[in-house]
Amino acid sequence: MVALAKGRYVARLAECEKDILAAQKLRQVAFHGDETTIDQDVFDPLCTHILVEEQSTGALVCCFRFLPLAGGQDIDRCYSAQFYELSALRDFEGPMVEMGRFCIHPAYTDPDILRVAWGAMTTYVDENNVEMLFGCSSFNGTEAEQYFDAFAMLRDRHLAPKRWLPKVKAPNVFRFAARLRIKPDLKLAQRRMPPLLRTYLLMGGWVSDHAVVDRKMNTLHVFTGLEIKAIPPARKRLLRAIGA
């Protein structure tokens, strides 16, 4: 069962409707910048929700959700399948989990929040024998130009293996692997890379060859996959130490 405390923060499973509502309120603030309504969709009732709270105040500082799949045969049930053609992943054998709606409250910048979140993810993956973690990793805004160096680095170093490569499905995409011809400034690329995606890549994750322009969420996002067996041993030890 996911439940861990490290330093100022504690991660736990949502236990009731009140917990899920709190997560939906945080998502509304993080994704849409207001507190007048909540961010919700049809996937929420199907998912396990994780909350990261500040121990001293009980404030919710981060949340995300897991949608478990028995294997690649269920890939069309996931949230990401709305935006990506994922037929290549139907051949994946083994339990999979889609991690989605990840957000950190904009008032909090402590990097330990992300560390605790990954510790909770690691605990969940280990407890459920998950073999692939995947989801959509988002860049803020819908103008690709500010992220050209980051996308060029993804093109050069982190594209999905051909056997798993998602195809285009969404009507509005930026085909960075085909269109970009620049040599990336690696320091600038790292600065522009979303922290969650940066962590995926450090563990051996890979991305689609295009980004979806999602005007509803005001993001550019790439499909991101991580085969658990591909995580470097040293990184696995570090994540499990956080989750211990």
CA distance 182 to 145: 12
Compute mean pLDDT per 10 residues along the chain, 244 residues long, and list them.
Answer: 79 97 98 94 97 97 98 98 98 97 96 92 93 97 97 98 97 98 96 95 96 96 96 80 64
Q: What is the largest CA-CA distance in the chain?
A: 50
Helices (H) and strands (E) in the chain, counts: 7, 12
Contact 88, 165 (CB under 8 A): yes
Domain positions in the chain are 65-243
Cβ neighbors of 67 (< 8 A, separation 6 or more) are: 43, 46, 47, 48, 77, 78, 79, 97, 98, 100
Q: What is the pLDDT of residue 91?
A: 95
The torsion angles phi and psi of 219, rounded to 5 degrees, stand at -140, 160
Q: What is the pLDDT of residue 8?
A: 93
Q: What is the pLDDT of residue 244?
A: 58
CA distance 148 to 154: 10
Q: What is the pLDDT of residue 242?
A: 65
